[in-house]
Chain A
Amino acid sequence: MTSLIPPELRARLRDLRLAARGGAGGDGLGQHASRSRGAGLEFAQYRAYEPGDELRRIDWKLYARSDRYFVREAERDSPLTAWAIVDASASMRQADAARPGYAKLDAAKTLAACVFELALRQGDRFGLIALAATAPTFVPAGAGSRQRDRCLLELARLQAAGRWPEAAALRPLWERVQPSAVVVMFSDFFDDEAVELALRLAAARREVLTVQMLSAEERDFPFAGGHRLRDPESRAERRVEASAVRKDYLERFAAARAELARRFGAAGIRHVEYVLDRPLDEPLRTFFAPGATRASGGGGAA
């Protein structure tokens, strides 16, 4: 199952950390026991006792010294939940002529597996939502290596086909993805419904990271001569003279990508493009490299 992640990629994952920009602790500080030690149990501050605080959280030694009640607060990341949403519509079948066997979906599977790997390493919970044509596949959030295997198995079964699922089929998604969960969405965002979903998730206080999967052909349009271009989703065909249409296409496609980035940015979504001929850890590094998260977020106590 681990063959989804090549060894050299796994090596480069070492210094990445899955972290939420808004800080963890949506579930409350120290509300439940965690097996993870270390960073989570770091001392943060003392504050004055307020009525309603639990008595056991009073630092009695400090009381003995200063004759006042202080509550010891620890900055402790409660385990976050990471969701990977993988678009498996037919447009994700697109691959480059230079590397025919490597479709956008394949790259998305590997990136999702990397997210699971990162979450597993940190003891976080993670789940998978695969949006295929017939019915969306949900792997409920969980932790541990068995959870990882369940997710990878589901990823391996995933085939790109059909169109974006109906809105009704997506309703369970809202029940499962809790607020303040980290949602990493892998899609080409050619469907407006995919963009809508990302925007609505962000508006509903989920932390959304989007990776737009593009093939090099879509970026460069390296065709020449007469071509019959076929949309894999709608089966629509368009006969074009490639060299004549190229300039116009590049302008319009760049404008569409810029518009998408602008909309996501306005909604507070961290957005990155991934083109198939680039190294796979690039988008992950953008999101999860040390400093990348803290630069904009920083983990404050709630």
Chain B
Amino acid sequence: MSFALLAPLGLAALAALALPLLIHLVRRLELKTTDFAALRWVAERMRPQRRLRFERPWLLLMRLVLLALFALLLARPVWNGDAPPTRVWTVVAPGVALADARAAAGAGDSEWHRLAPGFPRMDETEAPAQIATASLLRELDAQLPPGVALTVVVPETLSGLDGEKPRLSRAVEWRVVPGKMPDRPAVPGKPFHLAVRYAAQSEDSLRYLRAAVVAWNQSGRRHCELDAQPAEAPVAETSDALIWLAPSSSVLNRWLDRGGVALAANHPGNEGEPLWRDATGNVLARTVANGHGRLIALPGALTPDQLPMLLDADFPERLRVVLGDVLSAPTQAQAAAMRPTADAATAGSQASRLHAARPLDAWLALLIAAVFLFERVVATWPRTEREA
């Protein structure tokens, strides 16, 4: 139940109010000449005062109102729809027993919903197994009109979070009950395909790459499949990254043009951003935009004497980051630590307030027409004797 302006700068048109004021003012300064024989008894000291007087005040008022309405129309007023019937929402995250939730939230007069896409009512659906908790919280906060109190019942262990604590536009009643939200499956479906093409003299480097892949696969994260073949073999389209241990060729260029990521040894050059440096600051690898793709260029061969970090324990991880199979942020946390913070900045810029706004332009235009009609009537009204 509120009134808002979509373009408040339109109110600058209120400056036009000065126009009718001036028009009605200027004509007032004239003096009427009257023959008056009894002039002797008129006091001389009473000069006409240049008072700011307005001629025909009703007409002036009409015109001022008309201009003000025009300015309002320019400012695009909207009417925010009626308040929702319920003022308290309680959402229950998966993994919480209903009895626990009722006990935690208390017997208030509130609407019960699941923290699930679409926010279904409590009794309508089963709890989903897997949700993006933080994202849903933000969506719910944006959808609810301001003024609705929000209570969230969560289990002790939350999953489906993202990098930071959720920041919402309102203060949230954060109730933690015993329970655990099911985590997402440990292994995502699709393995990471790494293609290696090598020339005969670079076959020694394969040992380090194989070792790196084994290290990846033992870390329990996304499975990596190595496809190591001589340089003449074609590169499969499904490959996620390419390591090129041969002289530069059209196969590599085509791969890069298609937007792939490739690591190429024996590729000297100065262009591109330094990626790896050794202890003395010499550049060991550069990353270069090439075609639509990205090329990681090693000036030397992929051997320990050229690239000592090949023997470091963290080389597999660094290689993996470079090739684009980035680590995902942790998604599980203790619920008590993830209490959402109320953020005034979010609240101020919240566009969701206008989700139920109705424009008032039509009504305003009707009003303007009516006032204009009145103004014309008043303007054409015969002047009274006093004014004439």
Question: Is the CB–CB distance between A230 and B35 below 8 Å?
Answer: yes
Taken together as a complex, chains A and B put the C-alpha atoms of A215 and B37 apart, in Å, by 9
The size of the chain B interface, using a CB distance under 8 A, is 24
In the complex formed, the residue of A with least CB distance to B33 is: A228
Report B273 CB to chain A, min CB distance, Å.
82
Which residue of chain A is the closest to B55 with respect to CB atoms?
A225
A44 within 8 A of B: no
CA distance in complex: A238, B34 (Å): 10
Q: Per-residue 0/1 for B34-49: is the Cβ within 8 Å of any A Cβ (1 yes, 0 no)?
A: 1111111111101111
Q: How far is the CA of A248 from the CA of B49 in the complex (A)?
A: 16
Q: Is B386 an interface residue when CB atoms closer than 8 A count as contact?
A: yes
Q: Is A258 an interface residue (CB 8 A)?
A: no
A227 in complex: contacting residue of B28, B31, B53, B386, CB < 8 Å: B31
Q: What is the CA–CA distance of A93 and B46 in the complex, to the nearest angstrom?
A: 26
Q: Count residues of A near B (Cβ-Cβ below 8 Å).
A: 34
Which residues from chain B contact A232 at a C-beta distance below 8 Å?
35, 37
Quick one: which of B6-56 are within 8 Å of A by CB? 28-44, 46-49, 51, 53
CA distance A228 to B48 in the complex (A): 9
SS of B interface (majority): loop
A231/B32 in contact, CB under 8 A: no
Q: Which chain A positions have C-beta within 8 A of B33?
A: 227-228, 230
What is the bound-complex CA distance between A230 and B40, given in angstroms? 11
Binding-face segment, A73-81, A151-159, A239-247, A293-301: A239-247
Q: Is A63 an interface residue (CB 8 A)?
A: no
Report yes or no: B38 in contact with A241, Cβ–Cβ below 8 A.
no
The docked-state distance in angstroms from the alpha carbon of A273 to that of B74 is 65
- The answer on a CB contact under 8 Å between B49 and A190 is no
CB–CB B35/A240 < 8 A: no
Interface residues in B30-88 by Cβ distance below 8 A to A read 30-44, 46-49, 51, 53
**Nearest CB in chain B: distance from A221 CB, A:** 8
Within 8 A of B (CB), among A246-286: 248-249, 252-253, 256
Docked Cα-Cα span, A282 to B328, in Å, equals 114
CB distance B43 to A241 under 8 Å?
no
Residues of chain A within 8 A of B48, CB atoms compared: 226-227, 239-241
Once bound together, how far apart are the Cα atoms of A250 and B51, in whole Å? 23
Contact A230-B34, Cβ < 8 Å, known A239-B47, A239-B48, A240-B47: yes
* Central interface residue in B28, B37, B44, B49, by most chain A CB within 10 Å: B37
In the assembly, what is the distance between CA of A231 and CA of B49, in Å? 21
The smallest beta-carbon distance between B385 and chain A, in angstroms, is 8
Q: Would you call A168 an interface residue if the criterion is a C-beta within 8 Å of the partner chain's C-beta atoms? A: no
Chain A residues in 8 Å Cβ range of B40 = 190, 231
Residues of B contacting A229 with CB < 8 Å? 34-36, 39, 42
| Pairwise interchain contact B39-A231, C-beta atoms closer than 8 A | yes
Residue of B nearest to A188 (CB): B37
Chain B neighbourhood of A234, CB < 8 A: 39
| A256 adjacent to B41 (CB under 8 Å) | yes
- Per a CB cutoff under 8 Å, which of B32, B35, B38, B47 touches A225? B32
Query: Inside 8 A of B46's CB, which chain A residues have their CB?
Result: 240-241, 244-245, 248
Q: Chain A nearest CB: distance from B133 CB in Å? A: 76
Q: Which of B28, B29, B34 contacts A228 (CB 8 A)?
A: B34
Q: Which residues of chain A come closer than 8 Å to B39, judged between CB atoms?
A: 229-231, 234, 236, 238
A residues at B contact (CB < 8 Å): 90-94, 188, 190, 215, 217-218, 223-234, 236, 238-241, 244-245, 248-249, 252-253, 256
Q: List 13 extra interface pairs beyond A223-B34, A236-B39, CB under 8 A.
A: A93-B35, A223-B32, A224-B386, A225-B32, A226-B48, A226-B49, A229-B36, A231-B36, A234-B39, A238-B39, A240-B42, A245-B43, A248-B46
